[in-house]
């Protein structure tokens, strides 16, 4: 599933092509994706100028005066900027046709993405209870330490809770915990303030670097220009169970947490 760096990479890729363009039409090829697409959406955006493209957690928001189109890539979704008239494929579910003779096309083989609407001056229910952005100023070790008190859940599950901090998915939590030297199964409430400071620093550094390098290429994700990301080659623990640790040479161990694969180094992480 595309995580925060992949979504931010997508935002940066499409934003220059969309900003200040007028929306000529929204062409829908199916009535739903993960959820029903609002029936009035095509009418609401037609003729509107795009004011900007934002990201909140793993959601993209295309802003217009009456509101914002709310987009999630799901597990396999991608957005492409293409010329008008480009033939649509089987999994091309909608096109946003623009006044500069291009279109923004959403492709999603698994259909777990979404296209919803957030009226101006409101906050969509999917965004209403999210935690802070990990790359913004209100996210730090003191915040994580305070939020973790009394929590018995494993620290990896705690950090992946979107009400605690947004967009830090499986890959980047695993890498940040390795960088901070913390095992993913430790109880969140038992981790020290100093360790949370190290975790927060690691999360910010790893996410920022992954964004700079174009995100982590997963099985179904490519950058908007069609080039794969490159951060994947530099992972220390994620997806490396049974392989030697790049730091100490010990064997990376794998486990399952909350029905998701996890991995860590028994020597480097305590």
Domains and CATH numbers, the chain: 4-119 (3.20.190.10), 147-264 (1.10.8.50)
- Catalytic: 3? yes
SS3 197: helix
91 assigned ligand-binding residue: yes
Structure tokens at 270: 């305590």
Q: How confident is the model at residue 242 (pLDDT cuts 50, 70, 90)?
A: very high
Residue 194, pLDDT above cutoff 90: yes
Q: Which of 11, 55, 56, 58 is catalytic?
A: 58
Residue 116, pLDDT above cutoff 60: yes
Q: Which of 2, 5, 184, 224 is catalytic?
A: 2
204 assigned ligand-binding residue: no
CA quadruple 196, 197, 202, 205: dihedral, nearest 10: 140
- Work out the mean pLDDT of the chain and round it to a whole number: 92
- Helices 170-180 and 193-212: crossing angle, nearest 10°? 130
Task: For residue 251, give the DSSP letter.
Answer: B
Q: Which of 66, 227, 260, 266 is catalytic?
A: 260
Q: How confident is the model at residue 189 (pLDDT cuts 50, 70, 90)?
A: very high
**Interval 181-202 mean pLDDT:** 98
Say which range, 75-84, 197-206, 239-248, has the weakest mean pLDDT: 75-84
**Interval 244-253 mean pLDDT:** 97
- The residues near 128 (Cβ < 8 Å, ≥ 6 apart) are none
* Residue 8, pLDDT score: 92
- Catalytic: 186? no
Residue 24, pLDDT above cutoff 60: yes
Structure tokens at 144: 């994580």
* Residue 256, pLDDT score: 93
**Rounded Cα gap, residues 86 and 84, in angstroms:** 6
- Catalytic: 234? no
Q: Which of 3, 6, 97, 175 is catalytic?
A: 3
**Interval 221-249 mean pLDDT:** 78
Residue 90, pLDDT above cutoff 70: yes
* Residue 225, pLDDT score: 59
Q: How confident is the model at residue 230 (pLDDT cuts 50, 70, 90)?
A: low
- The residues near 11 (Cβ < 8 Å, ≥ 6 apart) are 53, 54, 55, 60
151 assigned ligand-binding residue: yes
* Residue 212, pLDDT score: 85
């Amino acid at each position: 599933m595309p995580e925060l760096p992949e979504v931010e990479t997508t935002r940066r890729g499409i934003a220059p092509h969309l900003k200040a363009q007028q929306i000529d039409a929204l062409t829908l090829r199916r009535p739903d994706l993960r959820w029903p697409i609002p029936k009035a959406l095509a009418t609401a955006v037609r003729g509107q100028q795009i004011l900007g493209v934002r990201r909140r957690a793993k959601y993209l928001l295309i802003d217009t005066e009456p509101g914002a189109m709310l987009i999630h890539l799901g597990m396999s979704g991608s957005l492409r900027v293409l010329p008008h008239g480009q033939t649509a494929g089987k999994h091309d579910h909608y096109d946003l046709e623009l006044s500069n003779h291009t279109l923004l096309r959403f492709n999603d083989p698994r259909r777990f993405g979404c296209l919803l609407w957030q009226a101006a001056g409101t906050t969509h229910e999917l965004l209403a209870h999210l935690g802070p952005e990990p790359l913004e100023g209100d996210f730090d070790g003191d915040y994580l330490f305070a939020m973790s008190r009394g929590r018995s859940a494993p620290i990896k599950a705690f950090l992946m809770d979107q009400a605690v901090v947004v967009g830090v998915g499986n890959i980047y939590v695993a890498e940040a915990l390795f960088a901070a030297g913390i095992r993913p199964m430790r109880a969140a409430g038992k981790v020290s303030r100093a360790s949370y400071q190290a975790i927060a620093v690691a999360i910010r550094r790893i996410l920022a670097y992954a964004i700079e390098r174009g995100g982590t290429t997963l099985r179904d994700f490519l950058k908007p220009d069609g080039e794969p990301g490159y951060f994947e080659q530099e992972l220390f623990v994620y997806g490396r169970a049974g392989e030697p640790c790049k730091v100490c040479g010990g064997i990376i161990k794998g486990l399952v947490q909350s029905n998701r694969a996890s991995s860590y180094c028994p020597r480097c992480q305590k």
